[in-house]
Amino acid sequence: MTTIHDTAYEFRTARPEDAGAIEALDGSFSTSTVFEVAVHADGFALREVPVDPPLVKVFPEDEGDDGDDAGEDGEDADSRTFVAVDPDSGLAGFAAVSYSSWNRRLTIEDIEIAPGHRGRGLGRALMGHAVDFARERGAGHLWLEVTNVNAPAIHAYRRMGFALCGLDTALYLGTESEGEQALYMSMPCP
């Protein structure tokens, strides 16, 4: 157990019985600013701009991986999902990561914190577990993708040591997030 802001959280690798709570976690957010992306011939620039009324973003249900490529115990040797559990309210957050040996990259596939637990350092603590796993696997760097409208996450990632490293203007075309831009951030494995 680790105490953060007077709450004793259990941090551990996710178990099969956590799947429903992970899927049900409210990953939505609201923000009064977004990052406007200006693409130029030789690069791009970001500018944080206010939005009024504040933007409320609810992510669509994930139609991704169903875990069929996981090992016998349900866990791929190069993937992990770490959870933070509050003994009173249940799942407070999770971080799903995967390692690619060819480029020694640990990808943060998803990290979500339940609304009542945000702003307490829980995301940083989960990222710490991701970093530990990255070190175990021999990762040279950590990498993630975030939408330009998720200013709270971008600020949090920067405080954790991530820096902007790329842009994809087409990733969200044809999706519910069309019109947003995918920003890529990375940091050397500490």
| pLDDT tens figures, 131-187 | 999 999 999 999 999 999 999 999 999 999 999 999 999 999 999 999 999 999 999
Contact 112, 144 (CB under 8 A): no
Could you give the count of Cα atoms lying within 13 Å of 178 in the half-sphere of its Cβ?
Answer: 4
Give the pLDDT confidence of 33-89 residue by residue, as tens digits. Answer: 999 999 999 999 999 999 999 999 998 776 544 444 443 345 688 999 999 999 999
Report the 10 Å Cβ neighbour count for 128: 17
Over residues 78-123, the pLDDT tens digits come to 999 999 999 999 999 999 999 999 999 999 999 999 999 999 999 9
Average pLDDT over residues 19-45: 96
In one letter, which amino acid is 47? R
Which ranges of 8-150 would DSSP assign to H, the alpha helix?
19-24, 122-137
On whether the pTM is more than 0.85, the answer is yes
